[in-house]
Amino acid sequence: MNAPIKSESPIAVRAIRKAFGELVVLDGITFELVSGQVTCVLGRSGTGKSVLLRLLIGLEKPDAGSIQVAGQDLLSASLAELNEARKKVGFLFQQSALYDSMTIGENVAFPLRRHSKLSESERGERVHQLLASVEMDRDLDKMPSDLSGGMRKRVGLARALALEPKIVMFDEPTAGLDPITAAEIAKLIVGLRERHITSIVVTHDIHTARTIADRLIVLDGGKSLFDGSFAELKDSKHPFIMQFMKDAA
């Protein structure tokens, strides 16, 4: 393993490698995120994008390299330190991962009940504010099964923001959504920038990436092929990127 990173970046990754048996999924990936920016990680299915997110929240450990999230070196962290770092990070899962047995309000209240000292009334007010921020406050008492895919994503984002994280990670936030709903979710992600929240978005949706990203990282074959703006991405002459952009058009 490399020495721990010392960086002011919300997320700093250095030379990480991850393999499953003989399959190398990530091979020498290095980047540092800029506070308050939206970074999209692009690539085909199976190129390690979701594996990267699991590494960034400590659900997997790299075979080599260093990862720092919210000031904590994940590889040397104790379980208690890892859990403290995770409280500073919101996560929106691809399928939203709402608890089916809880109402929408109870889902959003769950992290507050576990990790805050708010009174019941304060917690209720916070839940209402969070749901209002994603235009779901009128659905407080509904069950997840009553919601469309886009509505579930909104509730998932409200829950991800419950503990006022400085970093939010998104796994395919617009997957399976119609274009109008996808645009609405994209607008919510862009809105996080105004709150000085750093976002990292894993996606294969180039249209969403163009709308929301300050910066794009393209992965293929375990390597980072590109790191820059959308304008620079459009002008890239790398054969894979040219084909990727053509297929996504």
Q: Is residue 51 domain-resident? A: no
The residue segments making up the domain with residue 147 are 100-161
Answering whether pTM is above 0.85, one says yes
122 within domain boundaries: yes
List per-residue pLDDT tens for the chain, 249 residues long.
455 566 689 999 999 999 999 999 999 999 999 999 999 999 887 778 889 999 999 889 999 999 999 989 999 999 999 888 888 999 988 777 889 999 999 999 999 998 888 899 999 999 999 999 999 999 999 999 999 988 999 999 999 999 999 999 999 999 888 999 999 999 999 999 989 999 999 998 888 899 999 999 999 988 999 999 999 998 898 888 888 887 766
In a domain, 42, yes or no: no
Asked if residue 4 belongs to a domain, the reply is no
- 116 located within any domain: yes
Instruction: State how many domains the chain has.
Output: 1
The residue assigned the tokens 């886009």 is 150
* DSSP one-letter string for 146-196: GS-HHHHHHHHHHHHTTT--SEEEEESTTTT--HHHHHHHHHHHHHHHHTT
| Residue at 134 is within a domain | yes
* pLDDT at residue number 242: 87
| CA distance linking residue 185 with residue 119, whole number of Å | 31
Note whether residue 93 is domain-resident. no
Residue 17 lies in a domain: no
d(CA 194, CA 190): 8
The residue type of 158 is A
Q: Provide CB contacts within 8 A for 159, sequence distance 6+.
A: 90, 98, 107, 108, 110, 111, 130
